[in-house]
Structure 1
Amino acid sequence: MYRFVFTQLLSRIDPEDAHHLTVGALRLLSVTPVVKRLVHRRLAPRDPALRVQAFGVHFPGPFGLAAGFDKDAGCVEAMSALGFSHVEVGTITAHAQPGNARPRLFRLVKDRAIINRMGFNNAGASAAARALSRPRGVPAVVGVNIGKTKVVPEAEAVHDYVAGAKELAPLADYLVVNVSSPNTPGLRNLQAVELLRPLLQGVKEVADSTPRRTPLLVKIAPDLADDDVDAVADLALELGLDGIIATNTTISREGVSSTEPGGLSGRPLKARSLEVLRRLRARVGDRLVLVSVGGVENVDDVWERLLAGATLVQGYSALIYEGPLWAHRIHRGLSRRLRRHGVRDLREIIGRTAT
């Protein structure tokens, strides 16, 4: 049914307009208590074998929604009700900003991919904090992804990230420092260890000072050289971070025909994202929580990432092509596969094929 709707309707609408329509519908679901609870009861993961604990947080399943979809924390309850085990909101900047000029979102239907150059368009940390402070009618695990305000110079990046963290860390189940989007000028420079260290130290100080101590992760790009992946992993261990999210979108256009500038996500990112995950697992073992994102489309992809050492897996781009039941189908497929393999606890398979 959804594929018919996508082909006949959604694919004919400007991608960003279609996104706004979808978010509007999800916001409506979020404020409709009875429907929201019924949907959650039907679609949210409930199999005890799927439960995961990571950095002290309990997740009802391993598969969550990556940052980029819910930029202003308005759809947390709806996406949790639809079956995502966690929802990572953002990227949120300390100050509101409109993002880059339109058009800035492009579907590559044949490639099962998306190109975006949104530029962290969001209403700012204060608005997101108000949204996250509202009572919830269904359980939800919420990660908050923070980034640099575009007009803030690189020399003031630490202060900018810290300002966002102060607003949002107390409201997050975990906090993510995003230094890997290709759509904010100079942002990826912050992945260099000499610049990343003071930034992470500043944000970690804030995260550690919240009443429950908010776990802190860093999100990296797939375009980092292998030596730089190792360097970030070593820094994360040195500073006592809780995990790494790998990976963000890529500036590579390998395997696709489009030369549109921006970050590419979806199927073409699959191989490199998995490669970075395996490299990180070899480097850090189980000392850090690894969250794998990039090119995840189905239960086979999620299973492969778990075997390779990811504790949690995220997706976003395939949601556009698979529809609202996507997360539910993946968790249902994982439950069946665990039973088929005689596994009673998901933790038994995490890292099984890692070398």
Structure 2
Amino acid sequence: MNKFKIEHWFYKNILRPYLFAVDSEKIHDQMTKFGELTENAGWFLEAQYSYKSDRLKRSFLDVDFENPVGLAAGFDYDGHLAKTMKHIGFGFNTVGTVTAKAYGGNQKPRLLRLVKSRSILVNKGFKSEGATKVAKRLDSKNLQGHTVGISVGSSNIPEVNTVGKAINDYVFTFNVFKNKPYVKYFELNISCPNTAMTESFTTPQNFEKLVSTVSKLNLKQPIFVKMPNEIVSKEAESLVRIGLRYGIKGYIFSNLVKDRGNKHFVKSEIEKMEDYKGNFSGKPCTENPNKLLAHVRTKFGNKVVLIGLGGIFNAKDAIQKFESGADLVQLITGMIFEGPQIAGEINYQLSVGK
């Protein structure tokens, strides 16, 4: 029995029942603090959770990835875990989403588990300490050798209430981070469904306004656009064509699910969510991103670099993303449900074929 099976068994049978008995956001905050405390014990964490092989290394858009399994934006909002995540096996990790102005988050509860549906209701609304404070924290960490990205969104505050103001807000955050040596890539989050902005950057007109402005910043790092989940192939194709015109070659499929009629929901669980705002991660996010990955790969071939996100709980799920057209994959909910060894476990299975 390999170490990952042991860690997996221990997490699911011993640790997870305790963690899942505690409020989701409370335990997230506690584990974030604990994770940051362990960031300098890399040798121990890697021995427990990581798997390394030259066969897993990837390079896209002049960025080196130790392996193709990354931590998605939405877990490490404020950069506390930027150093830790590599040690537990992730080949890259995204901090954020980070916004220019601080926002304490939408009204609680902001995180609710749907255990049988293997999903989490999310309603954080770009909860962020703000770009300047996050940058100061990351400046204090030794991130040499780490592949860290920053997810950039617009501040979820009343003052940012027009497309023009939101674009300026994005630009501020890009400017805070663009010359930081530890930032290897950016994510452009146009698809958070839990913010107060009434206009969307997922429309071609507004998306072009945004990317045309961002393209003038002369960023050294590549950008990956985080796409909405519930769009059709033609809509995705249209946005990618616009992005490519402005030199953006990276795309992530996809963000959270809104549809509460999704087939992966257990009826008794989703009915209990009736009075709660928010959208859903995990298993309900699986199918449409796979279709979008396949469509965009077919249409654009190697002109684009694609990250598959949504519903990855094991190596089989990751392989499904790769077979659909992804170059890399990201996850969060799979780690929460399956344990901190998940990246190492997936990489082990990708490498040895078991």
TM normalised by structure 1 equals 0.89
CA distance 1:146–1:24, change in 2 (3 Å): same
1:260-271, aligned counterparts within 5 Å?
260-271=276-287
> Does 1:315 pair with 2:324?
no
Contact 1:44–1:85, Cα closer than 8 Å, also in 2: no
1:94 is aligned to 100
SS in 1 for 2:28: helix
1:174 is aligned to 185
1:6 CA drift (Å): 4.3
TM normalised by structure 2 equals 0.89
1:154 is aligned to 162
1:274 is aligned to 290
Contact 1:181–1:188, Cα closer than 8 Å, also in 2: no
1:40 is aligned to 46
Rounded Cα–Cα distance in structure 2 between residues aligned with 1:131 and 1:300: 36
1:45 CA drift (Å): 3.9
1:117 CA drift (Å): 0.5
1:205-354, aligned counterparts within 5 Å?
205-206=216-217, 208-209=218-219, 213-253=220-260, 254-255=262-263, 256=265, 257=267, 258=270, 259=274, 260-337=276-353
Rounded Cα–Cα distance in structure 2 between residues aligned with 1:263 and 1:332: 32
2:150 is aligned to 144
Structure 1 residue identity aligned to 2:97: T
1:189 CA drift (Å): 1.2
2:70 is aligned to 64
Rounded Cα–Cα distance in structure 1 between residues aligned with 2:145 and 2:14: 29
Structure 2 residue identity aligned to 1:26: G
Structure 2 residue identity aligned to 1:154: T
1:56 CA drift (Å): 0.5
Segment of structure 1 superposing worse, 217-226 or 71-80: 217-226
Determine which of 82, 92, 100 is the counterpart of 2:88.
82
Rounded Cα–Cα distance in structure 2 between residues aligned with 1:336 and 1:191: 40
Contact 2:154–2:169, Cα closer than 8 Å, also in 1: yes
Determine which of 34, 37, 58 is the counterpart of 1:25.
34
**Moved runs in structure 1, 4+ residues, more than 6 A?**
none
Contact 1:204–1:216, Cα closer than 8 Å, also in 2: no
Structure 1 residue identity aligned to 2:23: D
SS in 2 for 1:5: helix
Structure 2 residue identity aligned to 1:225: V
1:126 is aligned to 132
Structure 1 residue identity aligned to 2:337: Y
2:194 is aligned to 183
CA RMSD of aligned residues (A): 1.6
CA distance 1:55–1:188, change in 2 (3 Å): farther
Structure 2 residue identity aligned to 1:84: F
Segment of structure 1 superposing worse, 304-313 or 327-336: 304-313
- Aligned residue pairs total 331
Contact 1:36–1:138, Cα closer than 8 Å, also in 2: no
1:8 CA drift (Å): 3.0
Contact 1:245–1:293, Cα closer than 8 Å, also in 2: yes
SS in 2 for 1:324: coil
1:4 is aligned to 13
Rounded Cα–Cα distance in structure 1 between residues aligned with 2:20 and 2:259: 24
1:132 CA drift (Å): 2.0
SS in 1 for 2:281: strand
Contact 2:321–2:329, Cα closer than 8 Å, also in 1: yes
CA distance 1:187–1:308, change in 2 (3 Å): farther
Contact 2:257–2:284, Cα closer than 8 Å, also in 1: no
Rounded Cα–Cα distance in structure 2 between residues aligned with 1:3 and 1:42: 16
Contact 2:156–2:197, Cα closer than 8 Å, also in 1: no
CA distance 1:191–1:15, change in 2 (3 Å): same
1:177 CA drift (Å): 0.8
**Structure 1 unaligned residues grouped into runs of 5+:** 341-355
Contact 2:308–2:330, Cα closer than 8 Å, also in 1: yes
SS in 1 for 2:235: helix
